[in-house]
Structure 1
Amino acid sequence: MAHHDPSYKLLFSHREMVTDLIRGFVHEDWVAELDFNTLERVSESAVSHDLREREDDMIWRLRWGERWLYVYLLLEFQSSVDRFMAVRLLTYIGLLYQDLAAAGEIPPGGRLPPVVPIVLYNGEKAWWAKTSLDDLIEPNLPEQLQRWQPQIRYLLLDEHRYAEAELAGQRNLAAALFRLENSRQPEDIERVLASLIDWLTAPEQDELRRAFVVWLKRVLLPARVPGAEIPPVNDLQEMHAMLAERVKTWTEEWKQQGLDQGRLEGETKVVRRLLIRRFGALPAWVDQRLERASEADLDAWTERLLDGQTLEAVFNDLN
């Protein structure tokens, strides 16, 4: 999913999704002290235009003891990783603090509330950007100069890095979404939908059920079976029945996609072997580039292997 789709943001406009995301994937002691009954979306009217125009960002807050804790949730849909994500978040959180101060949310003499920046990434290629601003700033600075440098880090949740066994053991809506993202067979989707049907039974969850259906129709299924005609289903039960009806046909189409992916992985292994033979052990940045390489990338690097004297020359598009 290389482009932003409103249906993904629609899912995380529901308290249940944000609650399960934090409870299931932020593994730190202070989470136990959060009062999820107070979880609320920060109104768009409470933030400036600079933050409102961030269509793929959401800001929530909830009580942590007697204090408000803000959760800046950035939904990242781009296919290429943003090396300077930490810089972007430094800007966004600065704008949030300005807006809170302007709105009178910070009492006279009061301190700024804590903010937890979370980057939820569902791109196909592995995330490789540094999660701490420290790692982007010139190293080896004198201590007196170092203390003046800004600091920020963000929590990265790369959906494709979670194993099925890790996710399947959780009764967790965010984990179910990640399992759908990672699905490789129609049967995988069927199993997750069966769980969602079982979990989302309350009348007040009707909008969340519809949000999952919209996302499946608009995003996941078109990505898995491009060009396939998707019937106008309106609820999870209908979606589950439709998948069961078409499982044989779609399994064949997905199998071909898997063969194409396997061919790309095979070409990547060949290029890696050639690089090792030419230059010896490969540094981490080369492995990261190979991991997210397209077929065009591999072709270009293979050609440069003939004349390139260094790894940097082969990957001459690196900055």
Structure 2
Amino acid sequence: MNLKKDKNNIHDKSYKDLYSNSEVFLDLVKGMLKAPWAKDLKSEDLILTDKSYIASDYEEQESDIVYRATINGTEVIFYILLEFQSSIDYRMPLRLLFYICEILREYSKNQKHKPYNKNLKIPAVIPIVLYNGKIPWDVPTNFKDIIYNSDIFGNNIIDFKYDLFDVNNKFSKEDLLKSKSMTSAIFLLDQKIDALEFLERIKSITLFFNNLNEKEMQVLKHWIKNSIEMPLADEAIKILNSERKDVETMVANNAFILTESLEKAEEKGIEKGIEKVALEMIKDGVNAETIMKFTKLSKENIEELRRSIKH
């Protein structure tokens, strides 16, 4: 059973929507990144920029979000790259450098920087990569690590570090359950899991993520609706909306129905495979008795398959 909607739908409808919400983005950098500079950041300080820096070659597997903010009087730009390809791009540090340069080039142009301005300052650009592929991300996170013999050049070469959120490999289920934050709930549901495990995690979020307010729950439901295939998405939202006393029963009932559906689908797949073998044998001129012996199909089934070939 396919749990997730197709990748284009995911990056267009769910993650971009999700982290375009300043409160959700704030939860990401304060709750999950735990960067010291983020402790004084407030959602009202964040301004979403309606601009993308993704090259046309990457639009199918990526999306990006840009925030501007002021932290204690210091201007900062957050560049979030949402990476949804199953294969890893080892050019990432280089590509991030290009994006950072383009952001700062545009900033300087808009600020009309003059060559004689001794007080010229530019904002910090914080690059963040959010990756939900199955293969563990092993691309260097420091730019200098992709430069030949970088250690011999010391501080004479450019360097920066991007923060990485590897949804499937960096966060264990146990750690995400302990966190009980908006982002940890999303990561729990977005990891590569089957439908039964998805329902178990919905149960855990409903029962134990009591600190999520109504607005955050609405954001979570919206993400589920955009990311998860029906009817599983509908059932998940019903569980999230239910009374605590009803959660266990609802999950158990859904799990039973789901297990039955999977078993039927498996049986159907086996039947189709047997029919395919029988069709090939008919085409090869094998007689009905031999086909019955090898496939265990009835004579009526074989005659029906024979008629389907003629039509």
After TM superposition, the score normalised by the length of structure 2 is 0.65
1:20 CA drift (Å): 0.5
* 1:114-263 correspondence to structure 2 within 5 Å: 114-139=124-149, 142-143=152-153, 147-160=155-168, 161-182=170-191, 183-184=193-194, 185=197, 186-193=199-206, 199-201=212-214, 205=215, 211-220=219-228, 222=229, 230=231, 233=234, 236-237=237-238, 244=251, 245-251=253-259
1:88 CA drift (Å): 0.7
1:261-300 CA distances to partner (integer Å, 9 max, x unpaired)?
xxxxxxxxxxxxxxxxxxxxxxxxxxxxxxxxxxxxxxxx
Q: Which amino acid aligns with 1:3?
A: K
Distance in 2, matches of 1:39 and 1:77, equals 25
1:234 CA drift (Å): 10
Q: Which amino acid aligns with 1:25?
A: M
Aligned to 1:78: 85
Task: Decide whether the 8 Å contact of 2:26 with 2:42 is kept in 1.
Answer: no
Name stretches of at least 5 consecutive residues in structure 2 with no aligned partner: 265-311
1:13-43 CA distances to partner (integer Å, 9 max, x unpaired)?
1112101100112233222233443122123
2:38 to 31, 40, 56: 31
Distance in 2, matches of 1:175 and 1:105, equals 42
Determine whether 1:43 maps to 2:44.
Answer: no
Task: Decide whether the 8 Å contact of 2:53 with 2:99 is kept in 1.
Answer: no
Root mean square deviation, CA, Å: 3.5
1:133-186 CA distances to partner (integer Å, 9 max, x unpaired)?
21111116753xx65533222111111221122111223111111111235512
Distance in 2, matches of 1:232 and 1:32, equals 34
Distance in 1, matches of 2:123 and 2:183, equals 26
Q: State percent identity of aligned pairs.
A: 23
Task: Decide whether the 8 Å contact of 2:130 with 2:166 is kept in 1.
Answer: yes
Larger radius of gyration: 2
Task: Decide whether the 8 Å contact of 1:3 with 1:79 is kept in 2.
Answer: no
SS in 2 for 1:9: helix
Distance in 1, matches of 2:54 and 2:138, equals 30
Q: Which amino acid aligns with 2:17?
A: L
Distance in 2, matches of 1:254 and 1:116, equals 45
Name stretches of at least 5 consecutive residues in structure 1 with no aligned partner: 223-228, 257-319
Task: Decide whether the 8 Å contact of 1:39 with 1:62 is kept in 2.
Answer: yes
Task: Decide whether the 8 Å contact of 1:87 with 1:133 is kept in 2.
Answer: yes
Distance in 1, matches of 2:140 and 2:263, equals 35
Distance in 1, matches of 2:207 and 2:160, equals 40
Aligned to 2:120: 110
Aligned to 1:3: 7
Distance in 1, matches of 2:211 and 2:151, equals 56
Task: Decide whether the 8 Å contact of 2:173 with 2:188 is kept in 1.
Answer: yes
Aligned to 2:26: 19
Q: Which amino acid aligns with 1:188?
A: R
After TM superposition, the score normalised by the length of structure 1 is 0.63
1:93-145 CA distances to partner (integer Å, 9 max, x unpaired)?
111111112222879542111111110111111111111121111116753xx
**Structure 2 CA distance for partners of 1:74 and 1:255, relative to 1, 3 Å:** farther
Q: Which amino acid aligns with 1:130?
A: P
Bigger CA drift: 181-190 or 73-82?
A: 181-190
